[in-house]
Amino acid sequence: MTVSKTAEKSSEKPADTAKGRKDAAEGSGEALQLGELSEQLGYVLKRAQLKVFENFLRCMASLQLTPAQFSVLLLVEKNPGRNQTEIASTLGILRPNFVAMLDNLESRDLCARIRSTNDRRSHILVLTDKGKAVLARAKKLVATKHEARLNDLLGPSNREALLGMLSKIANEF
Amino acid sequence: MTVSKTAEKSSEKPADTAKGRKDAAEGSGEALQLGELSEQLGYVLKRAQLKVFENFLRCMASLQLTPAQFSVLLLVEKNPGRNQTEIASTLGILRPNFVAMLDNLESRDLCARIRSTNDRRSHILVLTDKGKAVLARAKKLVATKHEARLNDLLGPSNREALLGMLSKIANEF
DNA sequence: TATTGTTATACTCTATAACTATA
DNA sequence: TATAGTTATAGAGTATAACAATA
């Protein structure tokens, strides 16, 4: 099966905010007013997340890695010798859904399942040599193209502050 | 692909000094190290977004409104007299997918489609009286339960800074 | 009996093509 | 011809139940 299709970007893009307007008359070509929507953290958070993932995919086009796949490779590299359940649950992926994902990565020779000698029910996960090489290239692409662009947009200290607040929400909310 | 793994059941107990450990002991009950993952903005952004939506749904359980439905009601209230295409595209919803969403809101008597007299192809969207009342209650719930909790977690000025950075990403990235 | 990996399945979101009725 | 709303459909992502092998 095809691992990925040449995903065209034809999704809808949101209109810009137009300040200082009153109720729109029917049929007018004017931009809509977002109103309170632009103050809803959840709304803005979702839009930002879509933009960031979109850019991530563009930056990783040459390696054909999705954000989820990248996170799996990173976690397996950092935690060699762990089984599927441990890696999946840490990433918030349900075990049944992790199977096809691993099938994909394994078919591309990026990682491998190894039957554990301690507990023959478990599959220990490790990166292959190719997986390590691809991950190294991926990290470089992410750092120089993706995260660097975020840095340009926000500034390093703001980017760090943003990361801190998002982590706080992710961990304590 | 060789993997040197000789892990015994009773493994050694390496401290989580990020430096001194290469192989994680197999089967150890230790928590995994996120490593570079916790510095990936996209990863943290996604986790935070899931948490925020989850909390939103809990706060709105009594009104049975999803974040997407809430955003539609807000936008229709702020922009009465606009048609489906305008509302949907502003929210980044594709027109075909907007149909079922509107069917739902209309069946609950929260909003109504009105055939335009100017262009009989268009459906003008408006909130019903019940829709306005429900939206008012929803706004109050969001403000007092949802956004207020974000405020408690981050502090008002941090929350505002977070919103600003996310908006910048959503609009300029 | 409980757990690991797996299959099957279903439901939501998102995306594209094509139809209809108007323009 | 082009556009608004719609239908059908396909693909991801996510969720639960259940089964075989193993503990």
**Which domains are delineated in chain B?**
64-172 (1.10.10.10)
The pairing of beta strand A123-127 with beta strand A82-83 = antiparallel
Q: How far is A9 from chain B (nearest CA, A)?
A: 13
Q: Which residue is nearest to nucleotide D9 (CA to C1')?
A: B96
CB pairs under 8 A between A and B: 245
Rounded to two decimals, the pTM is 0.88
Section A124-134 average pLDDT = 98
Torsion (CA) B147, B149, B151, B152 in degrees, nearest 10? 170
Chain B residues in contact with A50 by the CB 8 A cut-off are 92
DSSP states along chain B: --------SS-------TTT--SPPTT--PPPP-GGGGG-HHHHHHHHHHHHHHHHHHHTTTTT--HHHHHHHHHHHHSTT-BHHHHHHHTT--HHHHHHHHHHHHHTTSEEEEE-SS-TT-EEEEE-HHHHHHHHHHHHHIIIIIIHHHHHHH-HHHHHHHHHHHHHHHHH-
Structure tokens given for B42: 């996209």
Give tens-digit pLDDT for B77-104.
999 999 999 999 999 999 999 999 999 9
Residues 130-149 of A with CB under 8 A from B: 139, 142, 146-147, 149
pLDDT in tens, A141-164: 999 999 999 999 999 999 999 999
Which residue is nearest to the C1' sugar atom of D20, using CA? A121
pLDDT above 50: residue B131: yes
Using C1' positions and the CA of A10, the closest nucleotide is C15
pLDDT class of A25 with cuts at 50, 70, 90: very low
